[in-house]
Amino acid sequence: MSETEFPHVFGEGNVGKFNVRNRVKYAACCVSNFNTRDGFVSDREFARDRVIAQTGASIMTNQGAYPDKSGEGKAYHSQLCINDDKYIPGLQRISNLFHDHDAVAIQQILHGGRYGGIDLGYCVQPSDTPQTLKHFRPPRAMSKEHIQRVIADHAAAAERAIKAGYDGVEVTSFLGYLMSCFLSPFTNKRTDEYGGSVEKRARFMVEILEALRKAVGPERLVIIRLNGTELMDEYGGNTVEDCMEIMKIASECGVDMISMVIGWHESRQGALGRDVSRTEWLHLAEKAKKHIGNVPLAFGPRLSDPWEADKAIANGVFDFWEICRPLLSDPEMIHKIKNGQPERVKPCIGCMLCLAKMFYDQPYICAVNPRLGHEIEPEYSITPAAVKKKVMVAGGGPAGLEAAIAASQRGHDVTIFDAADSLGGALIPSSRDISGGEVLMELLQYYLYRIQDLNINVRLNTAVDRRVAAEFDPDVVIVATGVRVKKPDIPGIQSEIVYDAWQALRNGEIIKGGPNVVVLGGGKVGLTVAEVLAKQGKKPIIVESNKRVDLDVSTTFKWRHSTLVKQLKIQVFTEAKALAIENGSVKIRDNEGNEKNLPADAVILAGPLEPNQSLVNDLEYFCDELYVVGDAMVPRSLYNAIHDGYRLGVRV
């Protein structure tokens, strides 16, 4: 198997006057927040850029820099800046890096618009449409003079990008950033020449594109990112037809490429998470291509499948595969595909942790790639061990697997023990999630390939205890035994109608009996099992003692569970306590102190969770080194388990 399996992805292409060796464009993937607060490239960012430069993409886009001196365009605390010549040297280090790897270097210009002004306490946009998300700043409408000043800022930023050695610029018009605010009727209520019809709302875009072309000249590239759909129908945003008309207008302005993106930050419908099919938006790319003619179209939202990408390029659906998050999770993705190993790509699991961190103005991280953002730190690199050790990993979940793989790469003799008949731990029950959970089985398959490639020993159906450990005689024991559900001390808890959520999900078990199921415990586990049961035709009720049922759910997934709870008509009691299980019902005390009897043909124990640490005490004085990782330390998220395991594996 070789690159010929994907002849169109690895075929040559043309953008403007540039000939490129493949059809892969590295997207300006989020704003990393690795840079300085005053917009200079940091050593941390440059170390990350070294990784980007080595991905194998033929077009590489540097993350968005804001162009204005006012700071109104600044959308993130540590966003790059390009509003002064003093930023040119730092930006040139990156363009040189991209060129050293035979790539076309593009600098993105990003004015935050509706989401900007992070240091000012206000934002600017064409009209004063109020924010729908509270953490963004109150808006101020722009005057015509202000509009012209912003256009001039973009042109000056483009000139600096060319001085910094870039082959062109890319301007953002999506997600609710400034240009998209002019394009959308939701945020553009103007009655002058910049508002009204699609053509008038597009005037700002046209004037910026004209200014950029003048600034960079005919030999350099001008690229624009545009929405294929905004997913803002409920707010009165652009329709798909409007978006296509806008793309046509942009194509007639002489742009060298259009990059299609999906959604706004305020969209209530998911665009990029794992609940969205990997081919969900391809039909929009096909539609757009018919509107923009010969202008190259770059596309990639959710499309991490190389077979689908190659087919789409072959069929003229789009021209360049634009990859973002999949290259965060596995920077070697393009090389693995080219070398005939697509099954060994560590998949992006669509958890949107990278975006969640950005919402909190934190440096972005990746759930499955612990090195992201830590490339500059030697302790995150895998180096040969000074002394070869015999390592016992107790538990084959994500924390144990990561630790085992990293330790093996260092040269240790590693064996994984698991009491179950297969590896995977919490990945298996979590994969039952009705909204794209199957991607977690792809992650597990990646781990299985790595274990195979590294010749790591595996002993299944073997629970570790003192006897097993004594027979194995390890130098190091890594306890990665995960969590268990803590049973409430209430009458009836030993009833045969009581099930454990993890076991029920792991086995794909359909709860027997009638339709009424009470789930004791919310959070990720309780919500997932309730949603699975509701899909099976059951009528689950969640009883949670905390104020929120989504207490441990990531910011970017709370809305999804909220939507599913409503769609599936799952009843939820928060600040409630289970008192007893008796006579086919669960007695609870609700948040007002009232006692209720909930009909229960089955009861699922989903929380609270507690670390499974019994082995820690058993082996306390048993071996030279004893470590605890993942949920066996503290019940948290999948990414904590993966990062814990990796960090331990690289230093053990």
Give helix 398-409 / helix 439-453 axis angle, nearest 10°.
30
Q: What is the dihedral of CA 626, 630, 632, 635, to 10 degrees?
A: 150
Q: For 251-376, where are the E strands, in sequence order?
A: 257-262, 297-299, 320-323
Phi/psi at 23 (5° precision) = -105, 35
Q: What single DSSP character describes residue 466?
A: H
Q: Taking Cα atoms as reference points, which of 182, 259, 265 lies closest to residue 228?
A: 259
Q: Taking Cα atoms as reference points, which of 367, 380, 417, 458 lies closest to residue 649?
A: 380
Is cis: bond before 608, omega within 30 of 0?
Answer: yes
Q: Residues near 450 by Cβ (< 8 Å), separated by ≥ 6?
A: 344, 401, 405, 456
Between CA 29 and CA 34, with CA 32 as vertex, the angle to 5 degrees is: 150
Q: Reduce the DSSP state of residue 146 to 3 states and report it.
A: helix
The dihedral built from the CA positions of residue 633, 638, 639 and 645, taken in this order, carries a sign that is: positive
CB atoms within 10 A of CB 110: 30
The one-letter amino acid at 428: I
66 part of the active site? no
Q: Residues near 541 by Cβ (< 8 Å), separated by ≥ 6?
A: 516, 517, 518, 519, 570, 571, 572, 573, 598
Phi/psi at 35 (5° precision) = -90, 180
d(CA 572, CA 250): 48
User: What's the helix, strand, coil split of the chain in %, to 5?
Assistant: 35, 20, 45
Kindly name the residue from 76, 115, 177, 639 that is annotated as catalytic: 177
d(CA 604, CA 519): 5
Q: Taking Cα atoms as reference points, which of 490, 469, 436 lies closest to residue 605?
A: 490
H helical segments located in 420-522:
427-430, 439-453, 466-472, 501-506
3-state secondary structure 238-272: CCHHHHHHHHHHHHCCCCCEEEEEECECCCCCCCC
Which residue is it, tokens 């652009």? 238
d(CA 168, CA 157): 11
Cβ–Cβ under 8 Å, residues 159 and 152: no
Q: Residues near 446 by Cβ (< 8 Å), separated by ≥ 6?
A: 344, 345, 346, 347
Q: Taking Cα atoms as reference points, which of 42, 28, 43, 326 lies closest to residue 168?
A: 28
User: Which positions are catalytic?
Assistant: 177
